[in-house]
Structure 1
Amino acid sequence: MGRSTERFPSKADVIARTPDVAVREMLVHLEQAGIDTPFDRFDRQKPHCAFGLEGTCCKNCHMGPCRVTPKKPRGVCGADANLIAARNILRWTAAGVASHGARGREVMLALRGAADGSLDLPILGPEKVRATAKAFGIDDADKTVEELAGEIAMILLDDLCRTLPGPHRTLEAMAPPERLAVWRQLDILPVGAYHEVFEALHRTGTGTDGDWENVARQVLRCGLAFAWSSVVGSAIAMDCLYGLPKRGRIETNLGAITEGTVNIAVHGHSPVLVAAIVKAARREDLIAEARAAGAETIRLYGICCSGHSALAKFGDITPLANAMGAELVLGTGALDLWVADVQDVFPSIMDVAACFHTRVVTTSDSTRLPGAEHIAFDHHHTNLAEADGLAERIVRRGIETFGERQSGQVQIPQARMAAEVGFSVENVLATFGGGQVLHEHLRSGRIRGIVNLVGCNNPKVVYEESVVRVAEELMAHDVLVLTNGCAAFALLKMGFCLPDALVGAGAGLAGVLAPLGLPPVWHMGECLDNARASALFRAVSMAAEEPLRHLPLAFSSPEWSNEKGVGAALGFRLLGVNSYHCIAPPVSGSEELSRFFFEGTQEILGAVMVVDPDPIALAARIVADMDARRGALGWEPAGAPSEARLSVLRPQSGGRHHHHHEEEQGHEKT
């Protein structure tokens, strides 16, 4: 043991098979320039450590690291493979709670500041404030929206950081009663997100919890804290402060970059400063400064979830790539300023930015990058009120940098695609005329089921291929697809989020969606917007008068790669919804924990984890499991699948889009 024999794809495989021709072009372009990408660095990490892949390496104390094998079945402290793997996955889950919770806290603080007047921010979601207040049992016609928003912010913050035992009010108000009873019986209801992370680190320390099953129970508590504080709580705060998503049509992919404009990318997850940057970029005085510098105007581009979030709320932003593709965007040489906030911002972006004279600005004390300029909220968030001033400084940096763009080093691929965005539970139910209508389409078999298809990318599978293949198989089988976050970029770029993509859908799904002008894949925003998918699932459950575990619903993150991915899958499985993946979690070194993770949760939660590296086979398993649930309900069988597949019907054309680019002008390897 120790060195993996598993065969992961190479960069050459990605170039040959990735569904996006713009990705292919930029990988070749950067290779010719001698510039590394994540795919080069992944190749150099091979072969991977098998202990790490199996979850049987323990580094939690300095007596090790300990690596258990059949010949060395216990670490120095006596921990076996079951306990070590359970401790490791618990720490992963706790880290995911902290990741989403930390940036959620920022918007909760901003909501409180907007409510009490300490921040000059309008509350743009009054309808969400009223609906949330009603759910929390605090609605009062005599209270202003601001007063209710302030109370909501404090409830969300209390659920996030509670230490005194008490009810988790977000969970108690929003979760299905049937699930609350299950979680209470299992004794996995969280005290608060902060406490469960604190407890997870405590009980995985040296000589503390030695019972792997008890450690696994804490994984479930962290899963609930992740789902209901870090995700749902954060999403509530965002919708109250910035309003619900707005439907619209946009353009995406690298071909949507314009060369004659001040081009600013926002990259990360936190919406507070990004919202201020959107406002600043619209200011006539700053646009006039950009024109005086020789630019046509100021344009904003979205990388990772900052782009999705601003796009759904405000428009005026062009989504380009997920975290794995960020360096390819930088490689176009067309970005003047790169604004990095929090999470999924690889340190390596600094190397590529330096090659193309793109200035990088960081905006959070938790995400500094060596060599970047820091224009940020402070550690204590005492300067949230300065957001507009910080945003003005940032946009001016972009204008100043416009003149530094390297002549002859801009290469923008031609690939571009229109997409429809901005789906929410509220506008979906309004379009259908209520949850009962959507339920009837499911019961009749016109819609076979609904899948939330999400997740960050992982070079252990070919970049974006699994997401695209799963989506096209599902829609061909009359499965409606919801998407958000990193996975959504692939589906936006490949045309799945347009009504004319129904040519690759089954007859039943197309018959339902075409008259409404809806695409087969609904873009619901950023990764926090898993909360929208779970809320839509709950709306269907209420209309059907059936618990979620009985319904043809599923969660899939084919290419998941980080700690938040564990929490996202757990959040849905805790609701009774199966999760489906092309990459396995690092638990295979423990037979007991593997059994618990994959099948054992069926008995206690009504849901399992399914892993198949073949995306088409994975989609087939989703369809089969949906049909089994439909059969158990006595619902009408769904129709035969379409023979058409969207990627075959609409192959992307290649082609280079050169802007005075000279191939012989390479860069030294950075």
Structure 2
Amino acid sequence: MDIHGINKHIRLHHTKFGHDTHEHHHNTTVNDYASAVSEYKKTFASKKDVLEQTPDPAVRDLLLHMEQLGIETTFDRFDAQKPQCSFGLAGVCCRNCTMGPCKITPKSPRGVCGADADVIVARNLLRSVVAGVSAHGARGRESMLALKYASEGKIDIPIEGEAKILAVAGAFGLDTGNKTVKELAGEVADILLEDLSRTVPGPHKTLHAFAAKERIKTWAELDILPISPYHEVFESLHRTSTGNDGDWKNLMKQLLRSGVAFAWSSVLGSSIAMDSLFGLPNRSTSRVNTGALEKGYVNIALHGHSPILISEIVKLGRTEEFDKLAKANGALGIKFYGICCSGLSSMYRYGGVIPLSNAIGAELILGTGALDLWVADVQDVFPIIMEVANCFKTVVVTTNDSARLPGAEHYGFDHDHSNLDQVSELAGKILNRAIESFANRREVPVHIPQYEIEAEVGFSVEYINRHFGGVKPIAEALKSGKILGIVNLVGCNNPRIVYEKAVVELAEILLKNNVLILTNGCASFPLMKLGYCSVKALEQTGDGLRSFLQDLPPVWHMGECLDNARASALFKAAAEAAEADIKDMPYAFASPEWSNEKGICAALSFRLLGVNSYHCVHTPTQGSDNVTEFMKNGTKEILGSSMIVDVNHIELANHLVADLKEQRKALGWD
């Protein structure tokens, strides 16, 4: 199906969107979006709201502590930014060339080049999406290269994911006879790298090996099968540059194509590389929240998204050599704490890495004064952490040339990864620096809110197969109604929403209605901190879900944000076991507090599967009725999914539950 086919399915009625009423349409749109944006801004949370309503008492404690010390946080800066720019919120400002910046108003409904609101909004949204594609793809490339170099003996990193490599090699159709695991790992890495960076058109091997056949057929008919993430990012930046694509519908087609590339290479390809190199997660129990911080130890925070150096730091830090060195400098030993995704991936593979906070709460954790060294690798590491770290003499170390911070010390890989073979040496330098910092910080006052709980982590399709003997029991529980539906509840946090409240209260409503929840990344932190990743949380579920799970928590923690791949794999496996298409299953994707480019991409990747997405934060499209309609409902007929946005998270949750019931009814499962 070409772009004209997509246009037909979007059902753009001429009476509303036709060129005959172009001028009138845009004047009406500008006035409408100004009103809509104004109402939307009224829903934005304040720091006062967070202090009164955040569900985690440790967050409230640390916010007040920081306020008493006169140190600003994300929530102070968000308040200071008000009122936020209406043009930015609506997506109708353009600065792609220097004839502007241009903004769409009733007085000037077109930019200098003639681009209207539809085109400007579509261009901006597409650029955000491909930023997300490149973010997961770039950090995934590091894992793919490490897997390749480890297989060739160029770097001394053990390949621990033998089972994963064998399974993926089989899916790729590789000849596994008389080949070592290292040899197969090299072949897998080469395929992943080729899919990531292909320039000569050809089949995307990872997509064709793992995506559902019905979806591949749909994407092929829509002509949105990607060449590779590298190509689609390159092409998207090209077509949104000056004097190129002026058809908003064609830009949306490229957005969908880029979303497919994100899902099957930037996410799944990167996930395969990590699991192949470091092994699959293990179901385990972890201490969670600030009460798990302990004075007297060399305390190291792991923050970001890249596992290569982080994993080596954790492994080396647990050796007798560094334990003795820490104790020789007056410490009780070395402890590791997780911020954002690097901490989560280390936690579920090695255990003992204690998750404390998502990215938005990083400043609060620094404000405890308990951290001696902060490892900042890539993504979701805000530059403000340097000022807070300096207040408490915490040493900040950056490890990647893509994410430097002024004033931080740098021990990391070169931009071309030519020193990947120095991973142990770099890890050793960082650990030595942490021990030095501990010795220099003994007089720093420490404030640790005593809130701590245990959470179960490390769920995957592989674990589920072992526990239940396959995915069929889940499909049967769905059919019988013991499980009403399955929701992937994820996403970063956004200060527009009361911090972590929407995630927690949405989860409460879902569990009461027998919805099984999968989670990962930033949204998983409040679910861990408040007990939802514990068997004890079965007390808050409906009878059906409780009777099915028995000894499992009702929220399955699947890892870091890259582990959306695990959720989509479970969606696919359960749909196949139920003999239904993914788009027809009672599934949903929810990211109520999403805040960045990767968040748009994550929602888009599930929308492409035919799964509805649910949010409390609008995409910046309100300046274009056409693009807004496309994002919300335009993919319903062509993909089977819609985007539902409601700033009231309670109403959003109830809407989600009602939609799951409708999907069940359509399947005849009531």
Please give the alpha-carbon distance, in whole angstroms, between the structure 2 residues aligned to 1:403 and 1:194: 46
Residue of structure 1 equivalent to 2:364: 328
Offset at residue 408 of structure 1 (A): 5.7
Deviations 1:331-351 (A, max 9, x none): 000000000000000000000
Runs of 4+ in 1 over 6 A off after TM superposition: none
SS in 2 for 1:462: coil
Structure 2 counterpart of 1:53, from 89, 92, 110: 89
1:380 aligns with 2:380: no
Structure 2 counterpart of 1:144, from 175, 180, 187: 180
Residue of structure 2 equivalent to 1:366: 402
SS in 2 for 1:251: strand
Offset at residue 4 of structure 1 (A): 4.5
Residue of structure 2 equivalent to 1:411: 447
Residue of structure 2 equivalent to 1:654: none
SS in 1 for 2:294: coil
1:595 aligns with 2:637: no
Residue of structure 1 equivalent to 2:467: 431
Instruction: Kindly provide the amino acid, as one letter, of the partner of residue 141 in structure 2.
Output: R
Normalising by structure 1, we get a TM-score of 0.94
Offset at residue 314 of structure 1 (A): 1.2
Please give the alpha-carbon distance, in whole angstroms, between the structure 2 residues aligned to 1:305 and 1:621: 30
Contact 1:4-1:48 within 8 A present in 2 as well:
no
Q: How does 1:591-670 map to 2 (within 5 A)?
A: 591-635=625-669, 637=670
Please give the alpha-carbon distance, in whole angstroms, between the structure 1 residues aligned to 2:230 and 2:351: 34
Q: How does 1:271-420 map to 2 (within 5 A)?
A: 271-405=307-441, 407=443, 409-420=445-456
> How many residues are matched?
634
CA-based RMSD of the aligned residues comes to 1.0
Please give the alpha-carbon distance, in whole angstroms, between the structure 2 residues aligned to 1:376 and 1:571: 31
Offset at residue 564 of structure 1 (A): 0.3
Residue of structure 2 equivalent to 1:646: none
Structure 2 counterpart of 1:528, from 562, 566, 576: 562
1:169 aligns with 2:215: no
Deviations 1:17-71 (A, max 9, x none): 0000000000000011000100000000000001100111111111111111233
Residue of structure 1 equivalent to 2:587: 553
Please give the alpha-carbon distance, in whole angstroms, between the structure 1 residues aligned to 2:442 and 2:508: 40
Instruction: Kindly provide the amino acid, as one letter, of the partner of residue 334 in structure 1.
Output: A
SS in 1 for 2:302: strand
Please give the alpha-carbon distance, in whole angstroms, between the structure 2 residues aligned to 1:434 and 1:292: 50
The unaligned stretches of length 5 or more in structure 2 are 1-33
Please give the alpha-carbon distance, in whole angstroms, between the structure 2 residues aligned to 1:292 and 1:181: 63
Offset at residue 141 of structure 1 (A): 2.3
Contact 1:356-1:406 within 8 A present in 2 as well:
no
Instruction: Kindly provide the amino acid, as one letter, of the partner of residue 116 in structure 1.
Output: E
Offset at residue 260 of structure 1 (A): 1.1
Offset at residue 432 of structure 1 (A): 1.6
Offset at residue 614 of structure 1 (A): 1.4
Deviations 1:388-426 (A, max 9, x none): 110011011111111222536200000111000111111
1:157 aligns with 2:193: yes
1:456 aligns with 2:492: yes
Contact 1:334-1:405 within 8 A present in 2 as well:
no
Instruction: Kindly provide the amino acid, as one letter, of the partner of residue 586 in structure 1.
Output: P
Residue of structure 1 equivalent to 2:133: 97
Structure 2 counterpart of 1:83, from 119, 127, 137: 119
Residue of structure 2 equivalent to 1:583: 617
Instruction: Kindly provide the amino acid, as one letter, of the partner of residue 214 in structure 1.
Output: N
Contact 1:333-1:406 within 8 A present in 2 as well:
no
Contact 2:121-2:627 within 8 A present in 1 as well:
yes
Please give the alpha-carbon distance, in whole angstroms, between the structure 2 residues aligned to 1:378 and 1:394: 16
Please give the alpha-carbon distance, in whole angstroms, between the structure 2 residues aligned to 1:341 and 1:184: 37
Offset at residue 139 of structure 1 (A): 3.8
Contact 2:392-2:444 within 8 A present in 1 as well:
no
Instruction: Kindly provide the amino acid, as one letter, of the partner of residue 215 in structure 1.
Output: L
Residue of structure 2 equivalent to 1:501: 537
Please give the alpha-carbon distance, in whole angstroms, between the structure 1 residues aligned to 2:175 and 2:545: 39
- Bigger shift: 408-417 or 419-428? 408-417
Please give the alpha-carbon distance, in whole angstroms, between the structure 2 residues aligned to 1:14 and 1:139: 56
SS in 2 for 1:239: helix
Instruction: Kindly provide the amino acid, as one letter, of the partner of residue 588 in structure 2.
Output: A
Contact 1:4-1:47 within 8 A present in 2 as well:
no
Contact 2:369-2:444 within 8 A present in 1 as well:
no
Residue of structure 1 equivalent to 2:48: 12
Residue of structure 1 equivalent to 2:221: 185
SS in 2 for 1:558: coil
Offset at residue 561 of structure 1 (A): 0.2
Contact 1:66-1:75 within 8 A present in 2 as well:
yes
Offset at residue 613 of structure 1 (A): 1.1
Offset at residue 436 of structure 1 (A): 1.2
Instruction: Kindly provide the amino acid, as one letter, of the partner of residue 639 in structure 2.
Output: L
Please give the alpha-carbon distance, in whole angstroms, between the structure 1 residues aligned to 2:237 and 2:72: 35
SS in 1 for 2:296: coil
Please give the alpha-carbon distance, in whole angstroms, between the structure 1 residues aligned to 2:533 and 2:473: 22
SS in 2 for 1:344: coil
SS in 2 for 1:274: helix
Residue of structure 1 equivalent to 2:501: 465
Instruction: Kindly provide the amino acid, as one letter, of the partner of residue 325 in structure 1.
Output: G
Offset at residue 617 of structure 1 (A): 1.1
Identity, % of aligned pairs?
60
Deviations 1:529-552 (A, max 9, x none): 000000000001110111111000
